[in-house]
Every structure is written in structure tokens, then in C-alpha cells.
Structure 1
Amino acid sequence: MRIIITITACFSLLLMQSCLKLDQEFYSEVTPSTFFKNKSDVYAALYRPFTHARWYVGEDRWRLQEYTADNFAITTKGRHWYNGGENERYHYHRWTPDDNWIWGTWRGTLMGVALCLDVKSDLAQLDYEKLTMTAEDQVAHLAQLDALIAFFYMRGLDYFGGMPIFTSLEGESLPRNTDEELFKHIETLLQNAIEALPEKAQDQETEGSLYKVAAAAMLAQLYFNAESYISKPMYTEAKAIATDIIDNKYGTYSLDGDWNGPHGFNNNKSPELLWAIPSKFKYLQYDWFYADFYHYNTRQYFDQDMGGNNGAHLTPSRQPNGNVYTSFKLGKPYEKFTAGDVRKQPYVYNGGDDYEGMFIIGPHKTPDGRPINGGEEYKDKPLTFVDQVGRFSEVGPDKKYNSIEQLPSKMSEGEENTGVRLVKVPIPNIGNNDKRWGAYNPVIRLAEIYYILAECHFREGNLAEAASLVNQVRKRNFADQVDPNPVTSTNLDKYRLLDEWSIEFLGEGRRRTDLIRWNAFVTESWWDHQPSQSAHLNRFPVPTQAISGNNNLQPNPGYN
């Protein structure tokens, strides 16, 4: 594993052209004392694992959380996106140990742990005072790495259950630890990090570091999902930590007054972010999301130079005939937004840092109002994005279907304009490309802590308090903070609570975890997905490539 880290580090250095100096001094053995010359060297090493974390929270990890759940799908669109049936396997819960998203996630999890351990080993050996730093700085840096190790392992526990626990880079081909052992390891790392990490100064902008509040929030997340992870409910423990965070025991934070404050171009200034990873000026940070979601011609809508692959969209709220689905309760994400919710309007970039809405729906037009045409089923015809799935282009005289009522709606029946598209990360026009992907990636928001506390109260039967906490977040999404559909003790049940998680955190890579916590992931229906009733699917299989490289690994129960 150290060899892998060394290769990765050297490749990164080459990219930064740090090896092009002609007056280099060579050493027979590179040690921390010879490599680290100043404070900048320390921070460059410290933040290398955070770069990995920034990648880790997107791409395949995001896909496993969202495309397997009820809010998103990648439908086949004519000749596009069947992908050998891959997208249907995830949607219908038929994945296998050979699927790439699963292997990439297993590998990415342990790579994150290895990167942290490698840096931790080096920083622990340094004399910080010689580098004009303090012993307190060293303690905080090592605690950040411990918290980041806990973050990677907690995601691994969520996806796979027990994983091999590495505490150094010396071991290899380690067997899997049990779920309980990994849970305890994460818990200990976070408890120690909470004690060692400093609080962020009041009004200090987010810059990507892990502070005391982030470790506390991760521990709350661990306890909140403990029943899923180790079959032991720990909602009381989660509730206590969430209460302390909201009461500012770990630093001063507050809900943002604007719905897009935690997501916008300047979200590093949002008081709601407990941990966010910088991505400013990294112009490819969200290219995977752009490619997945947006039509080939959506570049005209954004007035941008980027092309999309037109794959993903929200699962449909409506049948082909236009009626809202009523035969299932989950999914239907666009319809779950209350009328008047400012987020529900189409995305429009108004210039500077100003934008509104977070969806692409309805007639597709350029910023100056010209129709945008399709290139497949609607070639040379104006595109209109619909909250439905069906081959509407095949309805009519001498076509496959005589009427819309005959249209099937399922994964194989998409078109190029199928589905509502999400714009959670704001996109400027090409004239303001210095802002493109400048927003930080929110990993933990205070709104999540409010919802954790609300759900804990709900599970204790305190429905009024649960409703109040959710409404404190909801109200910012309506004019004058007047919510026409607030949560109340009479309308709050399991499904309303799951809806609220869906609405507030749509597209933030957590939906599968929420469904599993409510025993809904394999027991509930949504759109064309039928429940398997197979509990082993709450975890992904240990990848074939992992087992083939380590004979000490055992597959998860239920998988061959």
C-alpha cells in the first residue's frame, strides 16, 4: 500500500512541476526531516488526503447512494444509455461484485485511509517548532487526519459493513474486521478527534479544515445510523450530540437565511457549513455531475462551453398521461416540493453571484429566449423537459402507440427530454467562468443536524418538537418565510419525514442511507422499482477484484 501512495504522491508532484528545479538536492533516503522544509510543505501534505475526500464524495460513491434509491435514474434513451444493462442493475437492485462503481468505492475508501495514515506517519515525526509551528498545531493536524480516517471508514461501513482496519501502512492482505469492530474504531477516532481539534473562530470563513464540530457531527451520524450498522439503536446518543451542536457547544454556527447560501458561489461564507471541501478554480470538480445530468445542447441553456451526456434525471412524479403516481409513497421528488418553494422554479443565472431555482423543466431555451432543439427523438424540434418517462415520440398515426395511455413507463423507455434535471451546484455563463465550480462541496451542513435531532424526537414520540425543527429549515424556502405546507404533529409520519430528508438534501449523495435507516430500501416501491425484500442488499458485495487480491477477505452474506 505504501508503494501505491508513493506513486500517487510522485505523480501529483510531477503535475505541480515541483521536480523541474535544476538545483535539486538529492538524498540517499527521503525522510520527513529532509522533505519538509517549511510550513507550506506541511500543509501541502496535510491536505493531500482532503483532495481525495473531495473526489470521494462524488462520482461512484454518489451514484451508489442515489441511483440505487428512489430519487434518480439513468434511463435508456433510444440508442443511448443502456450501457450493457448497468443502470438497470443498480435501479432494480441486481448489482454484482463485478460492477465498477462498487469496486471503485471499496478501493477509494481504503485509499483514503492509506493516504491519511501515510501523512500522519510523516507529520508525527516532525519537529514543528523548527518549522515555525507549534506543538498544538501538530496535535490538531494529527487529529484532522484521525477524523478523516473515521470519515472514510464510516462511509465504508455504510456501503460494505466491516472492512480491514489499518492503523499503519505496514500490514497487507488483512482480513475484514467485524461491523462492531469497525464501528468501535470509528467511534474512538472521532471521540479522540473531538478532544484534540480546535473550534473554528466565530465568523471565520470555511477553508476546508476539520474542526471540533465536524468530528462531533460525524459521531452523531455514526450513532444516528447505528441500528443499520450494528443492529443497536443509538438515537439517544445521536440526539445528545445534535443538541450540543445546535446549542453551539462545539463552535458558533447557524442556519443560513437563504436557501442557496450553503450551495452558492460564495458558500464558504455560509454559517451553516460544518465541513465543506474547497473546489475553487478546479474547473473539472463537478464535470462528472454535469456530464451525467445535462443534455448535449444544454450548454446553450447555461450559455456555456460544456457538453453533457444526457443520462440522469429525477425519477418521474407523473404517469405518461400526466396524472401523479398514487400507487407508491416514495420517490416523486419534484412533486414533493410544495408550490411556492423558491427552489422549485427553473434554474436561471442572473449574473454575478445571483441565480434562482434549481431545476431544468419545461421548454428548453437560451438565456435570451430562443428555443433549444433536440438531436435525437426531437431532432430540429424544440426540447421540453417533462417530469415523466415514456416514448412520447412513438405515439400517433402509423407509430408504435396509438395513444399516450398505451405508453409504458420504465427504465428502458426514456427519450432525450425525459425527466427533470437538477442544478444543485450553480453554473455561471461562460463570461463568468472564473466562478465555475467555485462553490465548496458541502459535506456536513447544520440543516442535517436539525433533521437528525428532529428524527430522534420523532422516534421518541415528540412529534411537535420534531415538526418545529424541520420547519425552522423549511421556512427559508418561501416568500416572507410563510410556508403553506408546514410539518405538523398531525401530518408527520415516517413518509413525511423521509420526504423532508429528500427535499432538503436532494442530490447530496445520502438517499440510500436514509432509506436503509427506515428499513425502506428493500421493502418499499417507487416508480417502476419493486421491493426485493432481501435484507442483504442493504450492503454492497465485497468486490471480486478486492477478494482476488486478498484471499483473507470474505464476501458479504447473500452474495456468491
Structure 2
Amino acid sequence: MKKYISIATLSVALLLSGCTKLDQEFYSSVTPDTFFKSEKDIKAALFRPFTHAKWYMGEDRWRLQEYTADNFAITTKGRHWYNGGENERYHYHRWTADDNWVWGSWRGTLMGVALALDAKSDLSKLDYSKFTLTEERKAADLAQLDALIAYFYLRGLDYFGGMPIFESLDQESLPRNSDQELFAHIEKLLKAAIENLPAKKAGDREEGAIRQAAAAAMLAQLYFNAEAYIGKSMYAESQKLAQDIVNKVYGDYSLDTKWNGVHGFKNNDSPEMIWSMPSEFKMLEYNWFYADFYHYNTRQFFAQDMGGNNGAHLTPSKKPNGSLYAADTKLGSPFETFDQGDLRKAPYVYHGTDQYEGMFIVGPHKTPSGEAIVGGEEYKDKPLDFVDQVGRFSEVGPEKKYSSIDQLPSKMSEGEENTGIRLVKVPIPNLANNTLRWGADMPIIRLSEIYYMLAECEFRLGNKEKAAALFNTVRKRNFAQEQDPNPVTVANIDKYRILDEWSIEFLGEGRRRTDLIRWKAFTTEKWWDHNPSTSAHLNRFPVPNQAIAGNNSLTQNPGY
């Protein structure tokens, strides 16, 4: 096939066509044998789809996972952030087939498949011996692309159920395959990839490539959520894979001894990292979340030059009067779910060079030298104090809207500029150390996830004691001298404790909706001001109307 795809051409074509056809119009006519001049060219082609994957793993995909669940919200803050009701639609489970996050995720999934198929088509035609490369290397490169295609389809299955299965760029106007067919396709791709991917050796750095353990972990994830995907429990199959990864069958990995080792500026050196996306200042930066999370004056807190737009925050743990939501619901309240003494619960402080502590912006907002940072809206020229509550506290007082705090409503429409605790999962240096900015790679799969998957599988298979021990193996690093004040035990382990453990360890890592669905909690449970949405069809998003307009062979999901 004489082609070399322009990403701009592909993006526009997919946007307009709704992925009617994956083969696009090409701006040049170049055969692989003449285009590829060196190993560098091979690597460029191989990793081009990975740059799309990096974009895909954040932004709208993150938003679908987190703003629809119990840990995060974008409240309306006075004159800001109503956004035509978009944020409330996702929070209250009222999204539609016309919503942009849904369309962007459908399109982004199939665009990723197209890019990986294109690279696979070109590399499969190459004679690697001309570049003094082995057939084993070629098989490994192609296996990476198979695993990447499987990753995109795994996310698509999670969001939408069955999708069209493309195996070449020549296919067009394909109907949706069934959930079971897509599940089997993902399983086939990953099993084949595992056979040809290299395993990590001791001392290897994580640089973004998919190794054997990453493909095995994706297969374990597929089985782990199989009941939600195809109505079939496969926890024993997931347990086997997870145990093998822990036992180093697929490569040499071990838990990091520090809680922030897998999130810090040098996290590509962490022995826990199974798959991550590289990030570097002024290059491919893992930074999309910055504007969403932070107040526009938070630049003074970080001693940085970056402004935020003050949108997202943790859902509140406390009512306006200070009482806890935990008394009314077993989900949500993410900040209070952390135990006292948990090193992660501390306010974020950058200590210079590459050292920092804590991962939250909470309480009085101050510069590194201790000066108060003031607001510009409800608290104009007044010190900012980030609270674990949602309510219009500025409207309480004599001759104001509310005479007492007890009258304050707490819901999505009632935020202020200081509403909600802000997450700093990715460390931010000051300007003096600006070369470190965005130095932390984006974790995709880490060994602690494998431990937690294994623990949940053991629980579901009746082995509570082993499940508790696995959770505690990870938990202990989060406390001084590894003294955990609230370990998981046979007596306290249940559905809600396990959901709490997932919430604490993986807060803000773009997985919460999936965990709730696996536990049948996404549409049946209450949190903060979100009441059960009751209909199981909401466990999947609709096929976007723009996709159906571009391909009338597509059918809509039930209930939409």
C-alpha cells in the first residue's frame, strides 16, 4: 500500500466522517522500503501512535471516568463554569449522544486504532535485516502495535461496549461488533503480543514502550472487568495473570518503597512502573490537568508562571455545617477516606531540587514564603482558604441571601472560587527548578494496580485473609515507619472497603467509573448530591450522533 498518513489529514477525516472508513486520502506516495532509511525512522513510525495514546489517556477520557463518578466535580462558581449545564449532565448522569466528551472518546479510540494499524502495515512490509535488525525485533515491534490496538479497544469496550473491529485501513462503514466479539478480539491481540514482547530485566528503565508485563496486565484488566463487559465472571483468570506478574513471570518489577516514587520527577526509574508515557518540559508534556484543577492565583503557591482556570476539585467530604457526608453514604468523601497520618494527605509542599511532600491544596493558600494569596471573585482581595465543602459561604450574613450556614444548599450549582480540595498528584517545581517541570511521566500501569487486582480477585474467590494482606503490602508505605493505623483485615474487608482502597491509592488516575461499575455501584449508589441514576444502561455511554451520521451502519446503545 503506497502511503504515509498525515496525522492532520487523518484527524480531519475522522472528525468529519465519524470513522466511516479508516483508510484516508494521503498527501504523498511513498513505499515503506523507500521511506525508511534507518532504525530511527522505524522507531518514529512505531511510536507515532503512542503520542496519540498519550493524548487519549487524559482529557476527555479522564473526564468520563472521574466527573461521572464520586471523587471529582466541576461545580459552577458564581459566574464561572456552568458551561451550558455540561458539567452537571455528567455529574447527574444525564449525558446525551451529542456531548463532546463522548464524541471525542469514540473518535479518539478509533483514531488510535487507525494510527496503530497504519504503522503495523508499513513495518510488516519492511525487511529488518537491511537495518541490521533481527526478525525477533520485528516481531516485538509488531506485537507492541497489537497491544496498543488492544489498549484502545479495551478502553472503547469499557466506554461503549461493542465497536467496529478494523483489521486494515481499507475497511469502511463497518457495523458495530458485539461486546463478545470485541472482547475476543482484544483477548486474541494481547495473547499474541505476550508471546513476542520482551520482558523487563532488572535495571531496565521505563521509557514508554509496551513490554510483556504491560500486555499481560491489560489481559488481566480485561478479565477483571469481564462481568461488566460480557456478563461472565473471569476473576480466576485475572487472578492467575496478576499473580504471575507479581511473581516476575513477565519481567522484573517490585513495589516502590516510597508513596511518591511512582509519581515523582524521576518516576521512570521506579521499579513499580510497568507502563508509562514519557513527559518532558517543552516536549510531550503530561500537563493537561493543570488548568482544570488550579486557581488562577495558584501560580503564586507553586512560585510558577502558569495560570489555572479554577474548575475541578474533589467532591466534598463535609456539609456546609461541617458534618460528614460519610454518615449518609458509603461513597464519595475522597479526602476524608484517607486515614490521619497518611503521608499523601498532607498539603503539597515543594522543598527544592526534586523533593516534595503531600498531594493536596487544602486550607489557607499561601506563597512559599508564607504570604496570603488572595482571591479575585467572591473573595476578591481576601485570603483564599480551600475548603472540603461546597456552598456559597460568601452569601451568609446580615442582609445577605442566607442568615446562617445551616441554610446553605450544597450542590453542583453552589460553588465558589475556593470550593473544594485540589489534587497535586503530579509534582510541580518552582521556577528556579523549572527544568524539572513536567518531568514526571504519566503512569498507565503500575505494580500496585496488579496487587490491588490480585487482592480483589482473592476476595471474590473467598480468600479474605490473602486479600487483606495484599492491600496492606501496598498501604504500609504511606505511613511513617510503615505504621498503618487502619489496615485491611478479614473483619473489615468488604465491597466498600475495597472501593475505598481503590479510591485512595488511585485517586485521580482516571479509573473510578470502571471500579464503580465492576461493583455494581455506578448507577445504584448515592454520593454527595448525586442520587442513584437507577438505570443500568448508563454503565455505557451512547454511540455519538456524529459517528452515526458518518456511518449509518452503526446502532445506538440501548436506552439512548
Q: TM-score range by the shorter chain?
A: over 0.9
Amino acid at match of 2:89: R
Provide the residue aligned with 2:194 in structure 1: 194
Provide the residue aligned with 2:106 in structure 1: 106
Provide the residue aligned with 1:20 in structure 2: none
In 2, Cα distance between equivalents of 1:110 and 1:433: 36
Amino acid at match of 2:77: K
In 1, Cα distance between equivalents of 2:362 and 2:382: 16
Provide the residue aligned with 1:215 in structure 2: 215
Provide the residue aligned with 2:333 in structure 1: 332
Deviation at 1:61, TM superposition (A): 0.1
In 1, Cα distance between equivalents of 2:56 and 2:169: 20
In 2, Cα distance between equivalents of 1:50 and 1:472: 32
Gapped runs of 5+ residues in structure 1?
Answer: 12-26
Deviation at 1:202, TM superposition (A): 1.2
CA contact (8 A) 1:176 1:553 kept: yes
- Structure 1 stretches of 4+ moved >2 Å: 2-11, 281-288
Provide the residue aligned with 1:479 in structure 2: 480
2:70 is the alignment partner of 1:87? no
Amino acid at match of 2:288: W
In the comparison of the two structures, how many residue pairs are matched?
Answer: 544
Q: In structure 2, do the counterparts of structure 1 residues 10 and 186 end up closer, same or farther at CA, with 3 Å as the change threshold? A: closer
In 2, Cα distance between equivalents of 1:282 and 1:109: 26
Provide the residue aligned with 2:21 in structure 1: none
What is the 5 A alignment of 1:313-352? 313-325=313-325, 326-352=327-353
Amino acid at match of 1:387: D
In 2, Cα distance between equivalents of 1:183 and 1:234: 12
In 2, Cα distance between equivalents of 1:512 and 1:4: 37
Deviation at 1:134, TM superposition (A): 1.3
Is the deviation greater in 97-106 or in 285-294?
A: 285-294
In 2, Cα distance between equivalents of 1:397 and 1:8: 58
In 2, Cα distance between equivalents of 1:5 and 1:459: 46
Deviation at 1:5, TM superposition (A): 3.9
Partner SS state of residue 274, structure 1: strand
CA contact (8 A) 2:362 2:385 kept: yes
Deviation at 1:240, TM superposition (A): 0.5
Provide the residue aligned with 1:397 in structure 2: 398
For residues 181-222 of structure 1, the C-alpha deviation after alignment (integer angstroms, 9 at most, x for no partner) is 000000000000001111122111101111110000000000
Deviation at 1:9, TM superposition (A): 7.6
Deviation at 1:473, TM superposition (A): 0.4
Amino acid at match of 2:59: E
Partner SS state of residue 6, structure 2: helix
In 2, Cα distance between equivalents of 1:284 and 1:382: 35
Gapped runs of 5+ residues in structure 2?
Answer: 12-26
Provide the residue aligned with 1:441 in structure 2: 442
CA contact (8 A) 2:3 2:28 kept: no
Provide the residue aligned with 2:416 in structure 1: 415
In 2, Cα distance between equivalents of 1:275 and 1:135: 24
2:237 is the alignment partner of 1:237? yes
Provide the residue aligned with 2:306 in structure 1: 306
CA contact (8 A) 1:5 1:114 kept: no
Normalising by structure 2, we get a TM-score of 0.95
CA contact (8 A) 1:282 1:438 kept: no
Provide the residue aligned with 2:20 in structure 1: none
Amino acid at match of 1:298: T
Deviation at 1:281, TM superposition (A): 2.6
2:135 is the alignment partner of 1:135? yes
In 1, Cα distance between equivalents of 2:194 and 2:283: 33
Provide the residue aligned with 2:548 in structure 1: 547
In 1, Cα distance between equivalents of 2:84 and 2:449: 37
2:429 is the alignment partner of 1:428? yes
For residues 4-47 of structure 1, the C-alpha deviation after alignment (integer angstroms, 9 at most, x for no partner) is 94353899xxxxxxxxxxxxxxx983100110000000001101
What is the 5 A alignment of 1:48-63? 48-63=48-63
CA contact (8 A) 2:286 2:441 kept: no
For residues 412-471 of structure 1, the C-alpha deviation after alignment (integer angstroms, 9 at most, x for no partner) is 000000000000000001121111111111000100010001001111221111110000
For residues 493-543 of structure 1, the C-alpha deviation after alignment (integer angstroms, 9 at most, x for no partner) is 100000000000000000000000000000000000000110000000000
Provide the residue aligned with 1:22 in structure 2: none
Amino acid at match of 2:339: T
Provide the residue aligned with 1:165 in structure 2: 165
Q: In structure 2, do the counterparts of structure 1 residues 39 and 546 end up closer, same or farther at CA, with 3 Å as the change threshold? A: same
Deviation at 1:284, TM superposition (A): 6.7
Amino acid at match of 2:306: M
Provide the residue aligned with 1:16 in structure 2: none
In 2, Cα distance between equivalents of 1:10 and 1:57: 19
Partner SS state of residue 47, structure 1: helix
In 1, Cα distance between equivalents of 2:306 and 2:450: 35
In 2, Cα distance between equivalents of 1:282 and 1:324: 43
CA contact (8 A) 1:283 1:436 kept: no
Normalising by structure 1, we get a TM-score of 0.95
Deviation at 1:287, TM superposition (A): 3.6
Q: In structure 2, do the counterparts of structure 1 residues 28 and 421 end up closer, same or farther at CA, with 3 Å as the change threshold? A: closer
Deviation at 1:355, TM superposition (A): 0.5
Deviation at 1:173, TM superposition (A): 1.0
Provide the residue aligned with 2:368 in structure 1: 367
In 2, Cα distance between equivalents of 1:93 and 1:555: 18
In 2, Cα distance between equivalents of 1:153 and 1:65: 16
In 2, Cα distance between equivalents of 1:335 and 1:84: 31
CA contact (8 A) 2:348 2:359 kept: yes
In 1, Cα distance between equivalents of 2:115 and 2:29: 20
In 2, Cα distance between equivalents of 1:402 and 1:339: 34
Provide the residue aligned with 2:527 in structure 1: 526
In 2, Cα distance between equivalents of 1:315 and 1:514: 17
Provide the residue aligned with 1:469 in structure 2: 470
Amino acid at match of 1:157: L
Partner SS state of residue 73, structure 1: strand
CA contact (8 A) 2:236 2:461 kept: no
Partner SS state of residue 93, structure 1: coil
Partner SS state of residue 73, structure 2: strand
Amino acid at match of 1:108: G
CA contact (8 A) 2:294 2:308 kept: yes
Partner SS state of residue 79, structure 2: coil
Provide the residue aligned with 1:289 in structure 2: 289
In 1, Cα distance between equivalents of 2:316 and 2:480: 27
Provide the residue aligned with 1:41 in structure 2: 41
CA contact (8 A) 2:286 2:440 kept: no
In 1, Cα distance between equivalents of 2:344 and 2:271: 20
The Cα RMSD (Å) is 1.5
Provide the residue aligned with 2:227 in structure 1: 227
Percent same amino acid among aligned pairs?
A: 73
In 2, Cα distance between equivalents of 1:557 and 1:460: 32
In 1, Cα distance between equivalents of 2:522 and 2:446: 24
2:139 is the alignment partner of 1:156? no
Deviation at 1:3, TM superposition (A): 9.0
